[in-house]
Amino acid sequence: MAAFLYEDLTQRMEKVLEPRYRTMYFENGDLIPTMVDLAPGMKEIAYEKINEFGDADLVSDAATNIPVVDISLDEDRYPIYMVASGFPLSLQEERAYNAQHYHAFNLDRFQRRMAVARKAIAQRTNKFTALGVPNFNFPGFLVNGLVATDNSAFNIYTSTYQQCLDFFVDVIESLTDNFVTDYPTDLLLPKDPHHLIVSLENSLGTISVKERLEQLYPDLMITKIKELEAAQIDSSGITRPGVGKDRIMLYPKESDIINRHIEEQVAMLAPEEYIRTDGLRRIYPMFSCITPAIFDYPTDCRYIDIPVKA
């Protein structure tokens, strides 16, 4: 009777199971207008800012006290940050890779490690952009001190359908009270408030709070975001009156109001002269250059801190 090795009786499938990750809304441009316009090697971006002052008034004929207007020029400057990660390749792995037969394996370790480094950079970029890095003066999109915060005592979890709907309508409408700001296009919610507005229906059971909001504001995109949970906001290092509360955010997703900037090539491999030797292996650095989310008109945006679900 013929003898078989164990591997001879094993059918190898084509698929390879890989780790799964959450959607990186703050890195991929879904939530923040992202401009691909950074020049290589720059340390800062800057642009001019015009301030206008003065007024007009009714005057009499031959008046000498005519009101005067004028302008002043200022400059806004924002640093460019580098997010980096690296991956190793040992002496023998590099010899095999250069000898070509390395590619015969199902798993190309060089390319896979490069992909993992890219993913690590993207994940960190997503977190930094959302919640900031206080030690590096990197302000987060969800915790920016320029954006006004309403510390609300309203408990949506004990509210009726109409009370909950009125709460969101009042907050949305309040953004346009200055008659300059347009209606917000995006409403970001943590998971518990999002679940509530999806499940809370009117007395007839015909429409939910979320569906009614979408009817009232057809351009409003409602998105569930983990980073808005109380623990995440408080861990960012900011000081706020509503400690321990979940956060809601409203804003118009327009590049002339909010924007971030990146280079054309994301997660680049550093030039060969920057590869570091560590014993019998080499460390290949990769990096991305980014700015934080920039609020050119922060009054068009709003944070609302609300009690968490009991």
Residue at token pair 């700001």: 181
pLDDT value at position 99?
A: 72
What gap in Å lies between CA 264 and CA 39, rounded to an integer?
Answer: 8
61: number of Cβ within 10 Å: 4
Reported as a single tens digit per residue, the pLDDT across 72-100 is 999 999 999 999 999 998 888 888 777 76
pLDDT value at position 104?
A: 46
What gap in Å lies between CA 258 and CA 188, rounded to an integer?
Answer: 15
Q: Are 89 and 280 in contact (CB under 8 A)?
A: no
Domains and CATH numbers, the chain: 18-45+78-137+261-290 (no CATH), 149-259+295-306 (3.30.2320.10)
Residue at token pair 């809601």: 248
Say which DSSP state 201 is in. B
Q: Where are the alpha helices (DSSP H) in the chain?
A: 91-98, 109-131, 161-174, 191-199, 209-216, 230-235
Would you call 171 helix, strand, or coil by DSSP?
helix
pLDDT value at position 17?
A: 83
Say which DSSP state 15 is in. -
Burial letters 18-30, b for 16+ CB under 10 A, else e: eeeeeebbbbeee
Structure tokens at 222: 């409602």
Amino acid in position 222:
I
| Dihedral angle over CA of 18, 21, 23, 24, nearest 10 | -110
Residues 199, 203, 209, 210: is their CA dihedral positive or negative?
Answer: positive
pLDDT value at position 97?
A: 74
pLDDT value at position 1?
A: 46
Q: How many CA atoms, within 13 angstroms, populate the side-chain half-sphere of residue 128?
A: 23
Low-confidence residues of the chain: pLDDT under 50: 1, 102, 104
What gap in Å lies between CA 101 and CA 108, rounded to an integer?
Answer: 10
pLDDT value at position 79?
A: 96
pLDDT value at position 291?
A: 97
pLDDT value at position 2?
A: 55
159: number of Cβ within 10 Å: 16
pLDDT value at position 275?
A: 92
pLDDT value at position 100?
A: 64
